[in-house]
Amino acid sequence: QSSAISQCRVCWRLYQATPGQMQTRQFRVAVIGAVGGIGQPLSLLLMANKLVTELVLHDLTATKGFGQDLSHIDRACQVKSFFGEDQMKSAIKGSDIVMITAGMPRKPGQTRDFLFDTNAPIVAKAAGLVSQHAAHAMVGIITNPVNAVVAVAAEAMKKAGYYDPDRLFGVTTLDVVRAEKFIGDHMSIHPGKVRIPVIGGHAGTTIVPIFSQCQPPFEGDEKCIASIVKRIQTGGDEVVKAKAGQGSATLSMAYAAARFTNALMLGLKGEPGPPECAYVQSDATEAPFFSTPLTLGPKGIEENHGLPELDECEKEQLKVAVDALKKSAAKGVKFME
């Protein structure tokens, strides 16, 4: 276990490309929504990842200056910039990975679900184009509400002609990152040493951190667990409130999305790190989409590890999450009917 943890950490931190690695084509990664609050830092982090040799930026507004800026960074990565609805197809075509972050963030007092009407059509459009022009790409959806728009993306891909459930992921890595950080701080250990599955979805009580499976074992009583669970579930709200009208989490979300993109690339190379949780089509529960630990491979999900062992309290939390996630998925499907 501990060597797997260090392997993951090493992979994640292996950013410096050596000159010998400069010429090898690794992966073309497209960021849809590249000029946004998450898109910019995500693009920067991807630019710095040696596995990305072609970084494609797309947004509705001009991306050229931003692409020019990134292209001065001394990495063996070509930057390509596209903008506007018409150029979304060119951005997506030929990509190995498409990370969708386009859409509106929420404001204080709004739930993620409040964004559905605005963001669902954007996700549907991008997912449909992936299906038509980059059918074998891995798709990561960061745009909220993740719980519902992943179902929108799946339906849009079916309509467009090609849908592979093993290649479509709702990015829930920020919930895992928050869990590792809050637990690490509580236990006075480096957050990078904490491994904990965070299952379910990406909103409020659909986020279920499995403390009973935490490694190293969590030190603290039930009250303490309840308070950290609550903080993980409301981490997004905490940031929205602190930003006071200036949007939601961007930097931590970009960090988490870059970590997940790195995991996808390691999978594509056939060198997967330890399992990462993501919100995918699943039969682990009655909810059609559900986040559980996944081993990633060249074809996307290589193995869905399903539900971890749960204690009684976690079983109760699971029920609540599944009920809510069934409704979210149904909302996404209905939108596409």
The residues annotated with a catalytic role in the active site are: 202
CA-to-CA distance for 284 and 207, rounded, in angstroms? Answer: 15
Residues whose CB is less than 8 angstroms from the CB of residue 158 and which lie 6 or more positions away in sequence, other chains included:
none
Helices (H), 73-196: 88-92, 116-133, 146-160, 173-187
Structure tokens at 267: 């999978």
Cα dihedral 123→107→261→135 (10° resolution): 0
Scanning 86-94, 104-112, 265-273, 278-286 for contacts with ligand LMR by CB under 6 A, the matching segment is 104-112
Residues whose CB is less than 8 angstroms from the CB of residue 261 and which lie 6 or more positions away in sequence, other chains included:
29, 42, 46, 49, 97, 99, 140
Scanning 28-36, 77-85, 248-256, 269-277 for contacts with ligand LMR by CB under 6 A, the matching segment is 248-256
Can you give the length of the chain in residues?
Answer: 337
Candidates 17, 51, 92, 240; binder of ligand LMR (CB under 6 A) is 240
- Determine if 177 is a binding residue for ligand LMR (CB under 6 A): no
- Determine if 239 is a binding residue for ligand LMR (CB under 6 A): yes
Q: Which residue type occupies 280? A: V
Q: Which is nearer to ligand LMR, 35 or 268 (CB)?
A: 35
- Determine if 176 is a binding residue for ligand LMR (CB under 6 A): no
By three-state DSSP, how is residue 114 classified? helix
Q: Which is nearer to ligand LMR, 215 or 234 (CB)?
A: 234
Q: Which is nearer to ligand LMR, 110 or 212 (CB)?
A: 110
- Determine if 106 is a binding residue for ligand LMR (CB under 6 A): yes
Candidates 102, 122, 174, 268; binder of ligand LMR (CB under 6 A) is 174
* Residue 258 backbone dihedrals phi, psi, to 5 degrees: -65, -40
Under rule CB under 6 A, which residues in 142-171 are in contact with ligand LMR? 144
Scanning 43-51, 73-81, 246-254, 316-324 for contacts with ligand LMR by CB under 6 A, the matching segment is 246-254
- Determine if 248 is a binding residue for ligand LMR (CB under 6 A): yes
Cross-strand partners of 83:
59
Candidates 249, 268, 280, 294; binder of ligand LMR (CB under 6 A) is 249
Q: Which residue type occupies 50? A: K
- Determine if 325 is a binding residue for ligand LMR (CB under 6 A): no
Residues 207 and 231 sit within 8 Å (Cβ to Cβ): no
CA-to-CA distance for 140 and 127, rounded, in angstroms? Answer: 10
Scanning 45-53, 232-240, 263-271, 323-331 for contacts with ligand LMR by CB under 6 A, the matching segment is 232-240
Q: Which is nearer to ligand LMR, 177 or 268 (CB)?
A: 177
Under rule CB under 6 A, which residues in 108-147 are in contact with ligand LMR? 112, 144
Residue 313 Cβ vs ligand LMR, minimum distance, rounded to whole Å:
23
Structure tokens at 290: 């559900």
Q: Which is nearer to ligand LMR, 130 or 253 (CB)?
A: 253
Structure tokens at 172: 């829930």
Count of residues that interact with ligand LMR, criterion CB under 6 A: 12
Provide the b/e sequence for 26-38 (b: ≥16 CB within 10 Å): bbbbbbbbbbbbb
DSSP codes joined into one string, 56-91: EEEESS--HHHHHHHTTSSSS-EEEEEESGGGHHHH
Residue 154 Cβ vs ligand LMR, minimum distance, rounded to whole Å:
19
Residue 256 Cβ vs ligand LMR, minimum distance, rounded to whole Å:
9
Which residues are at the interface with ligand LMR (CB under 6 A)? Answer: 105-106, 112, 144, 174, 235-236, 239-240, 248-249, 253
